[in-house]
Amino acid sequence: MNEQETLLSIKNLKTYFVNEDQVLKAVDDVSFDVKRGETLGIVGESGCGKSISCMSILKLVQSPNVRYEGGEILFEGKNTLKMTEKELRKLRGKEISVIFQEPMTALNPLYTVGDQMMEALKIHKKLSTKNAREKCVEYLEKVKIPMPKEMLNRYPFSLSGGMRQRVMIAMALITNPKLIIADEPTTALDVTIQAQILDLMNALKDVTGSSCIFITHDLGVISEMADRVVVMYGGKVCEVADTDVLFEHAMHPYTQGLIHSRPTSDYDGDRLQVIPGNVPSLNDKPAGCPFHPRCPYASKQCGEAFPPERVYPDGHRVSCWKYCNASEVQ
């Protein structure tokens, strides 16, 4: 398998919510790629469009007002935005599966774990109940669930948060998908349980070879999980870089602010560095670069237009006027 081969390519995606009197640009001209076998982290604060852009891939955004206004999402060369519902169903759960944040609401409380796990196998792989059960047990073992056979007959309410998330992961993996979208999979969990799940996901990644999009607001989790990171703010991509590069040499002022506003173990200052102001809400997003009202380097230009993306030879991409005017040397 070619490491550099692109599996998914999102180009100029625009996902808007259209109300009677206003248009909310939740995702506004977003582009990024996912390569085969890689884990791409998407990081950003609430309302930055990180979940919406990923749910757009399978058209899973649940709102009657949603409009895919432009751009394309190429999964293995086919545009999923143009697909019919029937074609999308063939992708969902088979080629691309999703791990949601809240495992209690993502699992159906009225069906047993086994019923829910087997659903995808019966639909996509046309397995018999007996074979499907065997496969489920195999995958529950993979996610280290004790007594997997008994687990099949249990209902989600009787499981702890960590166990539910394990079941979700097993469910996502069972059809051997090419891409897994993990939307804040550990946010609802306690730290020690989060550590277990992250460890498990890292181990499984090496075995399955699936690509993964890992959405989170937690920079620590991103730095442990992702190979490459996309930083989003106000519906736009600010910066894309390899994980190590991003944490050592963040270029966008927002990324820098985000990294510095977390106290690290060797920080002994008296106050934390702060990004002033508030996270903008969708209905009064500033013009130009959405970050400019909070940015220490903002100039007049920043309020007028969103900066063009600058791409460096090592793949580091940044959208900030500060670098558009600078010389070629990084």
Partner 1 sequence: MENIMEVQHLKKYFPVKGGFVSHTLGYVQAVDDISFTIKKGRVLGLVGESGCGKSTVGRTILGLTPATEGKILFEGEDIAGAKGEKQHEIRRKMQIVFQDPYSSLDPRMTVYDLISEGMVAQKMVDGRADLEEKVNELMLKCGLFPEQANRYPHQFSGGQRQRISIARALATRPEFVVCDEAVSALDVSIQAQIINLLKDMQEEMGLTYLFISHDLSIVRFISDDVAVMYLGQIVEMGTKAQIFDHPAHPYTQALLSAAPAFTKKEKREKKRILLEGDLPTPYNPPKGCRFAGRCPYAKPECQEVQELTELEDGHMVMCRRAQEEARRKGERI
Answer positive or negative: Cα dihedral of 17, 293, 297, 264: negative
- Runs of H (alpha helix) within 13-110: 50-55, 85-91, 103-106
Nearest alpha-carbon partner for 230 in 106, 322, 319, 120: 319
Q: What residues between 104 and 163 interact with partner 1 by CB under 8 A?
A: 160-163
CA–CA dist 91, 177 (Å, integer): 9
- Candidates 147-155, 175-183, 215-223, 300-308; binding stretch for partner 1 (CB under 8 A): 215-223
Binder among 272, 287, 311, 324 for partner 1 (CB under 8 A): 272
Q: Tell me, residue by residue from 7 to 46, as one string, x for binding to partner 1 by CB under 8 A and - for no binding.
A: --------------------------------------xx
Q: Which of 209, 263, 303, 308 binds partner 1 (CB under 8 A)?
A: 263
> How many Cβ atoms sit within 10 Å of the Cβ of residue 330?
13
* Under rule CB under 8 A, residue 185 binds partner 1: no
Contact indicator for 225, 202 with CB cutoff of 8 Å: yes
What is the size of the binding site for partner 1 (CB under 8 A)?
45
Told to check if 296 binds partner 1 by CB under 8 A, we report: no
314 binds partner 1 (CB under 8 A): no
Binding residue for partner 1, selected from 33, 69, 102, 218, defined by CB under 8 A: 218
Considering the complex, state which of residue 34 and residue 188 has its C-beta at the smaller distance from partner 1: 188
User: Which residues pair with residue 324 across a beta bridge?
Assistant: none
Give which of 275, 316, 232, 221 is closest to 43, Cα–Cα.
Answer: 232
| Residue choice 247, 256, 285, 301 for contact with partner 1 (CB under 8 A) | 247
Q: Which of 260, 256, 228 is nearest to 320 (CA)?
A: 256
Six token digits for residue 41: 């982290």
Which residues are near partner 1 by CB under 8 A?
45-46, 160-163, 190-196, 198-199, 217-221, 223-224, 244, 247-248, 257-258, 261-267, 270-276, 278-279, 281, 294
